[in-house]
Structure 1
Amino acid sequence: MWNLVFLCFAGFLASFVDSIAGGGGLISVPAFFIAGFSPYFALGTNKFAATTGSFTSSLRFARSGKVNFSVIKYIIPFTLIGAILGVKTVLLINQDFLYPLVMALILFVGAYSLFSKNLGMENGFTKVTKLNLALGILLGFTIGFYDGFFGPGTGSFLIFGLISIFKFDFVSASGNAKFLNFISNVTSLVVFAIEGKINYLYGIPIAIFMVFGANFGTKVALNKGSKLIKPIFIVMSLGVALKLLIENYIL
């Protein structure tokens, strides 16, 4: 019972943070390990619960007009294809070589966002062009593949990429990123479900708390805007890099 209470609280906090700036897995996945879950069941059950929070957050962003469907309707299919290929590839290739590359990239994302005062503070999106659409499709496919294959920092990469390509502010970038991330999450969830790696007895109540957390986090993000999202985004980006560093080079 105490394990379930602990995981529900961790799930609420994780989905609250994730709906604002990504990186909720930094909180929820270690919580499953602390509760004694094996690695596959920890990842599978977390994916099940987190996908419900991701859906809730995406829906709320969409209803508030912060999801630009004229852009992401072209990116979604490529994100889905990338995620499928990523999940299949992970069964064949060792992930270890990705750690230093991901750490370097996400440290760059966090540091660049920290020192670039105007990044994502105003919405400079004007229209869809052939160039930004092509870059957006490439981003969706690449991050979808990465999320299926590995995962840490997916939200940070999507937000940073959407701001850089389409000149969104952090609120719009978070809304669009959350929608795309939901697509890749569902793909991974289906694979874990087929493999029987989800503990539904824990997953269902945790999912309910993640829905509440996602609702609350999205509400805060929409009300407080980019001034709140940017610092949380920077902290979570650098947190992912620090987690990877500790796991692979210190412990």
Structure 2
Amino acid sequence: MTLEYILSLCVIGFTAAFIDSIAGGGGIISLPGLMVLGVPPAYALGTNKFASTCASFTSSITFMKYKVYDIDLLKYLAFGTLFGAILGVKAVLLLDSSKLRIIIIILMIFVAMYTLLSKNVGNVNKFKGVNRKAVIIGLVISIVLGFYDGFFGPGTGSFYIFLFIILLGYDFKLSAGNGKILNFVSNITSLILFAVNSKIIYSAAIPMAIAMIVGARFGTKVAIKNGAKLIRPILVCVAIAYAIKMVFDIAK
């Protein structure tokens, strides 16, 4: 581990966590970055999960500190996310996750276009309060995205923001806070599996995690301060960038 290597890990980690804490999608930077630095794919997944879990924990704590989340709903949804993530982790051992790529490309483009064209969506919090309908919709979101994060993962944070806005009426800031907290639940579930199977390179994961903690804390505060005017354009850019990256991955 040379100084240059450690600095590269830190730059990659900080940038990924900063973006991820605002609009999700940090994995499009951190995971390829690890592989470019020579970390084998299976170990890159585990190492990235270790660092990103530390980052999502930091973001979650910051959102909670500033009360940018809805505990009344999340106390139900956390169990849905945990259940979905466990199913997703088990499924990934049996199925080929690459078959999801085309579907995710289409969904990412849809998220970007809808967010770009719907000028007023997410600017104002229109959530009606916790009721039976909200809990059912929220549980469906949390189970599906918990499963997706355990099974495949990329863009989970972006999907949380989008679905919380469209289906439940939250604004961008509350959607980001709710999504990040639930994303942490699915992240820690996946991390335990990688750790049990010894797929984490801790000498790379620890410095990257430290940089991600700093990036996540900074990015979360920026998101809370700026709200929709910052989260909207970054969400659009992340969705388009990830769709393009996946197209190139398939074309290889």
Q: TM-score when scaled to structure 2?
A: 0.97
**Structure 1 residue identity aligned to 2:38:** G
**Structure 2 residue identity aligned to 1:42:** A
Q: 1:17 aligns with which of 19, 31, 49?
A: 19
Gaps of 5+ in 1: none
Q: 1:209 aligns with which of 211, 214, 224?
A: 211
Look up the match of 1:50. Answer: 52
**Secondary structure of the corresponding residue to residue 217 of structure 1:** helix
Q: C-alpha distance in 1, partners of 2:146/2:132? A: 21
Does residue 240 of the first structure (1) align with residue 242 of the second (2)?
yes
Deviation track 1:115-135 (CA, whole Å, cap 9, x = no partner) reads: 000111111123112112101
Q: 2:105 aligns with which of 99, 103, 106?
A: 103
Q: C-alpha distance in 1, partners of 2:201/2:153? A: 20
What is the root-mean-square deviation in Å for CA atoms of aligned residues? 0.9
Look up the match of 2:152. Answer: 150
Q: C-alpha distance in 1, partners of 2:158/2:214? A: 22
Deviation track 1:70-107 (CA, whole Å, cap 9, x = no partner) reads: 01110110100100110111110112321111111121
Q: C-alpha distance in 2, partners of 1:9/1:106? A: 26
Q: C-alpha distance in 1, partners of 2:182/2:159? A: 12
Comparing 128-137 with 77-86, greater Cα deviation is found at 128-137
Q: C-alpha distance in 2, partners of 1:9/1:98? A: 30
Look up the match of 1:141. Answer: 143
Q: C-alpha distance in 2, partners of 1:57/1:95? A: 27
Deviation track 1:5-53 (CA, whole Å, cap 9, x = no partner) reads: 1011110010000000000001101110110000011110010011111
- The aligned runs of 1:51-70 (5 Å cut-off) are 51-70=53-72
TM-superposed CA distance for 1:240, in Å, is 1.4
Q: C-alpha distance in 1, partners of 2:102/2:44? A: 24
**Structure 2 residue identity aligned to 1:121:** N
Comparing 134-143 with 93-102, greater Cα deviation is found at 93-102
Deviation track 1:201-221 (CA, whole Å, cap 9, x = no partner) reads: 111111111110001001111
TM-superposed CA distance for 1:165, in Å, is 2.0
Q: C-alpha distance in 2, partners of 1:57/1:221? A: 10
Q: C-alpha distance in 1, partners of 2:186/2:193? A: 11
Look up the match of 2:185. Answer: 183
Q: C-alpha distance in 2, partners of 1:142/1:126? A: 22
Does residue 89 of the first structure (1) align with residue 95 of the second (2)?
no
Deviation track 1:133-177 (CA, whole Å, cap 9, x = no partner) reads: 101100100000011001111111111111112211111100000
The size of the alignment, in residue pairs, is 250
% of aligned pairs identical? 47
Look up the match of 1:80. Answer: 82
**Structure 1 residue identity aligned to 2:45:** L
- Tell me, yes or no, if the aligned pair for 2:9 and 2:207 is still in contact at 8 Å: no
**Secondary structure of the corresponding residue to residue 114 of structure 2:** helix
Q: TM-score when scaled to structure 1?
A: 0.98
Q: C-alpha distance in 1, partners of 2:41/2:98? A: 16
- The aligned runs of 1:114-133 (5 Å cut-off) are 114-133=116-135
Does residue 32 of the first structure (1) align with residue 56 of the second (2)?
no
Gaps of 5+ in 2: none
